[in-house]
Structure 1
Amino acid sequence: MARPKRQEARRTQLMEAARRAVVERGLAELRLGDVARQAGLSPGSVLYYFPTLPDLLQEVQREAIGRFCTAREQAVRDEPDPRRRLLAMIRSGLPEGPGDELAYLLYELGAFARKDPAYAARYIDLYHRQVAIYVGILEAGAAAGVFRLAGDALGIARNLVILEDGYGLHMTMAVPTFHPTDAERQIIAYAAIATGCDLT
């Protein structure tokens, strides 16, 4: 009975090591040996638990996406006011800055999504989950008479997620082009126009 638990603990250890290695080295420079050194193991030991480095990184991606989506859902779950829910959702989708490890991890692993359908599928699912949260907020706000939507809720929700992604990418580059406060202000400005509601 103990063996499966030990194996699960080792897999978790390797995923944590891979997260640290991606953040420290970046995906382009990452090698299996980097993860092994982070974990204090040999490369062969890593391959015992994950057949290839991309297999390991798929698990890292899955965990990071789950953590990100859960945080966004929790940020708006208990807020009854549509205006404050919308603001909380916007803030939960932006990196805190260049050092935001979770955001950096998601952007780095996104490079695989351009060539690997499995990675792409998880990012598509991430996109749809975020859009669905926004649609719920927008439709509830419109039904309550708080928002006067300038278009359909789905289109506005898609724009909000894409704006977050674009600003977030610029915020996590080696030389950031946007400060978190500026990015947040710009997205809120669009949301105010799209909802016909003063969000300042």
Structure 2
Amino acid sequence: MARPKRQEARREQLTEAARRAVVERGLIGLRLGDVAEKAGMSPGSVLYYFPSLTELLQEVQREAVSRFCAAREDAVRGEPDPRRRLLMMIRSGLPESAGDELAFLLYELGAFARKDPAYAARYIELYQRQVGIYVGILEAGSATGAFRLTGDALSIARNLVILEDGYGLHITMAVPTYEPATAERQIIAYAETAAGCTLGDLT
């Protein structure tokens, strides 16, 4: 019974090593040996747990998507005020800085989405989960009169996530073109218009 636990621990160790390798080196030129070195193992030993570097990076992506979505769900859970929930949701979706590790991972690994259906499916899941949270907030706010939506909740939610993705990418570039605070103000401005409410008076 101990063997499966050891295997799971090894897989977690390799996932962490791969995560650090991607953050430090990026995907361009990343080799299995780079991950093996981080983990203190041989490349052959890595392949015992993951048949390929691609499958190992898929696990890194899966873990990153899970963490990101869970953090966003936690950020708004338990807040009764729809306006505050909307504001907290916006703030939870932007990188804190160009060095935001989790955001960097998601953007960097996104390069595989064009070529690998498994990667693409997980990014679709990421997008849909975020949209779903926004839809819940917008519909609840509309039902209570806190929001006067200028369109359907789904379209507004989709636009908010797309805005976050666009600004987030520019924030995490090697030479950032947007500061997080500026991006936040721009998204809040759209949210206020689309939801028919004010958010700037909230702290």
- TM-score of the aligned structures, taking structure 1 as reference length: 0.99
AA aligned to 2:26 is G
Query: Which residue pairs with 2:30 in the alignment?
Result: 30
CA distance in 2, matches of 1:3, 1:143: 53
Structure 2 regions of 5+ residues with no counterpart? none
Q: Does residue 160 of structure 2 align to residue 160 of structure 1?
A: yes
CA-to-partner distance for each residue in 1:160-188, whole Å, 9 max, x for gaps?
00000000000001000000100000000
Q: Does residue 186 of structure 2 align to residue 183 of structure 1?
A: no
Q: How does 1:43-122 map to 2 (within 5 A)?
A: 43-122=43-122
CA distance in 1, matches of 2:75, 2:123: 20
- TM-score of the aligned structures, taking structure 2 as reference length: 0.98
AA aligned to 2:23 is V
AA aligned to 1:86 is L
Structure 1 regions of 5+ residues with no counterpart? none
AA aligned to 1:144 is T
Runs of 4+ residues over 2 Å off in structure 1: none
> How far 1:150 sits from its partner (Å)?
0.6
Q: Percent identity among equivalent residues?
A: 81
CA distance in 1, matches of 2:82, 2:7: 45
> How far 1:126 sits from its partner (Å)?
0.6
Q: Does residue 141 of structure 2 align to residue 146 of structure 1?
A: no
> How far 1:28 sits from its partner (Å)?
1.2
AA aligned to 1:61 is Q
CA distance in 2, matches of 1:34, 1:73: 34
CA distance in 2, matches of 1:154, 1:8: 39
Query: Which residue pairs with 2:133 in the alignment?
Result: 133
AA aligned to 1:137 is I
CA RMSD of aligned residues (A): 0.5
Count of residues in correspondence between the two structures: 200
CA-to-partner distance for each residue in 1:91-126, whole Å, 9 max, x for gaps?
000000111100000001000001100100000011
AA aligned to 2:36 is A
CA distance in 1, matches of 2:196, 2:149: 6
AA aligned to 1:23 is V
CA distance in 2, matches of 1:39, 1:178: 35
